[in-house]
C-alpha cells in the first residue's frame, strides 16, 4: 500500500484566528503532514467556509469537535485523521484533548495545556490511560540553536550552572486601546485565559525555555506581577526571582506592556566555566562566552551541531530560518513519533523531542505558583506544592 502523509485534523483556527494559520504552516512545511479535516469555528457555516478556503473536502468540515471525532473515527484507518491540532482559546484545550484521546486520536495542543494545574494532572491521567501521544507547542524549544545550547550544557561545556536570566517582553498590550483586538480580548478574559494573562501567555514559555536548556527545575520563586493598565483583572507584566534545583539563582521577566518590544525572548545561562546567550530576534546566533577567550558566535549550520540541532535545519548556513521553522520542528518531530507509534517501533525522542504532558504540568505549576507567590507577603514560595503534585483537587 502506498505510504501516505500523516493526517491532521484541527479544532479552532477559523478565519480571523492567528495561531491556527501558524500551526497549519508548521504542519505543511516539510510535506510530512496533510490537513484533512477540521472543526474550525463555533458555527457550521464559519467552519465550512474556513475548511473550503483550506481546500478541504466539504464532508470533512465539521460543525463541532465532538462531531469531528465521532465521524473521523468511523472512517477507514488509512483515511481518518491521525492526530488533532488544538488551536482554540485556552479554556477548550483540556476538554478537546480529553475527548480526542477517548476517540483514539493523538493530540498536538497549543499552550497552556489546561486552565489549571489540577486539570493538567487530570490530562496526564487521560494520556496514560489511553496510551496516546501528546505534544504541546512550546515553540521556542524548536530552534536549532536552542537545541545546541541544551546540548552544550549537557556536555558540561558551561560547568555548573550558577545563574539563569530569561526574559520575554512584548509591548502590544501597552495601551488601553490595544485591548480591542481578538487576540487581546480573550487573553485578558479570565474565563478564557485562566488565572493569568502575561505569565500564562508568555511567562510560561520563558520558564519552559529556561528549564529545557538548563536541564534544571525551578524549585522556589519570589514573584511580583502587575496589571499596569487600569481596569485589567489579569497581569500584563511581572518579575519572578528563581531558585533552581541545583542552587543556581535566576530571574524571569515577562511583559506585555514593554512598549516597543516585539517578541523579545532572551536567554542567558551562566556556568562556572562558560556562559551562553541567545535572543529570539536573532535566533541563528548563539554566543558562547568565557572570561579569558574570545566569545564564540555559534551560527546555525556552521561547523558541527548536535543531532537534534542538525535535524532542525532545512538550509545551509547563512539562510535565515525563523519562527515558522522552529514551530515546524515540533510538528516534524511529532510526525516521526506518530510514524514510530504506528509501526510499533522506538523513536529517538532525544533527537526528535516534542514538549509533552510533563512540560504541561510544569507550565501550569509555574503559572499558578506565580499568582500565589505574587499575592504573598513572604519572599520565597516553593513552586510545586506536594498536595497538588499528587493530583488532588
Q: Residue 10 forms beta bridges with which residues?
A: 38, 85
3-class SS of residue 264: strand
Q: Which of 46, 232, 323, 385 binds a copy of itself (CB under 8 A)?
A: 323
3-state SS class at 28: helix
Among 74, 230, 377, 387, binds a copy of itself (CB under 8 A): 377
Q: Is 214 in the site for a copy of itself (CB under 8 A)?
A: no
Residue of the chain from 189, 251, 372, 391 that contacts a copy of itself (CB under 8 A) = 251
Cα 35 from Cα 78, distance rounded (Å): 14
Whole-Å CA distances, 366 to 268, 294, 308, 383: 19, 36, 27, 7
Pick one of 41, 258, 311, 333: the residue that binds a copy of itself (CB under 8 A). Answer: 258
Nearer to a copy of itself, 155 or 392 (CB): 155
Q: Which residue, chain included where needed, has cell 514573584?
A: 223
- Give the C-alpha separation, 242 to 219, whole Å: 8
Comparing CB distances to a copy of itself, the nearer of 93 and 268 is: 268
Q: What DSSP designation does 58 have?
A: G
Of 224, 358, 389, 393, which lies in the binding site for a copy of itself, with binding defined by CB under 8 A? 224
Using a CB cutoff of 8 Å and minimum separation of 24, what contacts does 93-96 make?
Answer: 94/119, 94/122, 94/123, 96/11, 96/65
**Closer CB to a copy of itself, residue 98 or residue 243?**
243
CA distance 104 to 125: 15
- Residue 173: CB minimum distance to a copy of itself, A: 10
- Contact with a copy of itself (CB under 8 A) among 55, 180, 230, 392: 55
Nearer Cβ to a copy of itself (117/269): 269
* Lookup: cell for 338: 506518530
Cis preceding linkage at 112, omega within 30: yes
Sole window of 86-94, 211-219, 258-266, 383-391 interacting with a copy of itself (rule: CB under 8 A): 258-266
Using CB under 8 A as the binding rule, the residues of this chain from 126 to 155 that contact a copy of itself are none
Among 353, 316, 367, CA closest to 140: 353
Q: Which of 265, 267, 288, 294 is nearest to 278 (CA)?
A: 267
Expressed in angstroms, the distance from the first to the final Cα of the chain is 48
Count of residues interacting with a copy of itself (CB under 8 A) = 93
What is the C-alpha to C-alpha distance for residues 57 and 372, in angstroms, rounded to an integer? 48
320: contact with a copy of itself by CB under 8 A? yes
Which CB atom, from 20 or from 363, has the smaller least distance to a copy of itself? 20
- Does the footprint of a copy of itself cover residue 241 (CB under 8 A)? yes
Q: Which of 237, 353, 359, 368 binds a copy of itself (CB under 8 A)?
A: 237
User: Quick one: CA dihedral 344, 350, 354, 356, positive or negative?
Assistant: positive
Q: Is 22 in the site for a copy of itself (CB under 8 A)?
A: yes
- If we measure between CA atoms, which residue out of 211, 181, 144, 158 comes closest to residue 365? 211
Quote the least distance from Cβ 184 to a copy of itself, whole Å.
12
CB of 94 to a copy of itself, least distance (A): 26
58 lies in the site for a copy of itself, by CB under 8 A: yes
Q: Binding of a copy of itself at residue 4 (CB under 8 A)?
A: yes
Tell me which residues in 331-370 interact with a copy of itself (CB under 8 A): none
Site for a copy of itself in 95-114 (CB under 8 A): none
The piece of 97-105, 114-122, 196-204, 248-256 that touches a copy of itself (CB under 8 A) is 248-256
Q: Can residue 319 be called a binding residue for a copy of itself (CB under 8 A)?
A: yes
**Does 163 contact a copy of itself by CB under 8 A?**
yes
Amino acid at each position: 500500500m502506498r505510504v501516505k502523509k500523516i493526517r491532521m485534523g484541527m479544532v479552532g483556527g477559523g478565519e480571523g484566528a492567528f495561531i491556527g494559520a501558524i500551526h497549519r504552516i508548521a504542519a505543511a512545511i516539510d510535506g510530512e503532514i496533510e490537513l484533512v479535516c477540521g472543526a474550525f469555528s463555533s458555527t457550521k457555516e464559519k467552519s465550512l467556509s474556513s475548511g473550503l478556503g483550506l481546500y478541504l473536502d466539504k464532508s470533512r468540515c465539521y460543525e463541532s469537535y465532538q462531531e469531528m471525532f465521532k465521524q473521523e473515527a468511523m472512517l477507514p484507518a488509512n483515511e481518518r485523521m491521525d492526530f488533532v491540532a488544538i488551536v482554540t482559546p485556552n479554556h477548550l484545550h483540556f476538554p478537546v484533548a480529553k475527548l480526542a484521546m477517548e476517540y483514539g486520536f493523538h493530540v498536538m495542543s497549543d499552550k497552556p495545556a489546561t486552565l489549571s494545574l489540577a486539570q493538567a494532572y487530570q490530562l496526564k491521567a487521560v494520556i496514560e490511560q489511553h496510551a496516546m501521544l501528546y505534544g504541546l507547542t512550546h515553540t521556542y524549544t524548536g530552534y536549532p540553536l536552542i537545541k545546541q545550547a541544551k546540548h552544550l550544557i549537557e556536555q558540561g561545556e558551561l560547568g555548573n550552572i550558577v545563574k539563569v536570566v530569561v526574559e520575554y517582553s512584548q509591548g502590544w498590550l501597552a495601551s488601553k486601546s490595544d485591548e480591542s483586538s481578538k487576540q487581546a480580548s480573550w487573553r485578558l478574559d479570565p474565563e478564557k485565559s485562566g488565572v493569568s494573562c502575561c505569565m500564562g501567555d508568555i511567562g510560561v514559555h520563558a520558564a519552559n525555555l529556561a528549564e529545557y536548556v538548563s536541564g534544571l527545575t525551578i524549585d522556589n520563586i519570589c514573584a511580583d506581577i502587575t496589571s499596569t493598565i487600569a481596569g485589567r483583572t489579569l497581569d500584563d507584566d511581572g518579575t519572578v526571582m528563581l531558585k533552581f534545583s541545583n542552587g543556581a539563582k535566576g530571574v524571569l521577566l515577562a511583559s506585555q506592556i514593554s512598549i516597543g518590544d516585539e517578541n523579545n525572548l532572551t536567554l542567558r545561562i551562566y556556568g562556572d566555566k562558560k556562559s551562553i546567550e541567545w535572543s529570539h530576534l536573532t535566533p541563528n546566533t548563539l554566543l558562547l562566552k568565557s572570561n579569558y577567550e574570545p566569545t564564540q558566535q555559534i551560527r546555525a549550520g556552521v561547523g558541527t551541531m548536535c543531532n537534534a540541532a542538525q535535524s532542525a535545519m532545512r538550509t545551509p548556513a547563512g539562510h535565515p530560518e525563523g519562527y515558522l521553522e522552529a514551530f515546524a520542528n515540533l510538528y516534524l518531530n511529532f510526525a516521526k513519533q506518530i510514524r514510530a507509534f504506528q509501526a510499533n517501533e522506538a523513536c529517538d525522542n532525544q533527537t526528535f523531542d516534542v514538549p509533552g504532558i510533563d512540560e504541561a504540568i510544569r507550565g501550569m505549576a509555574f503559572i499558578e505558583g506565580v499568582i500565589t507567590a505574587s499575592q504573598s507577603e513572604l519572599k520565597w514560595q516553593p513552586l510545586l506544592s506536594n498536595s497538588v503534585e499528587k493530583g488532588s483537587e
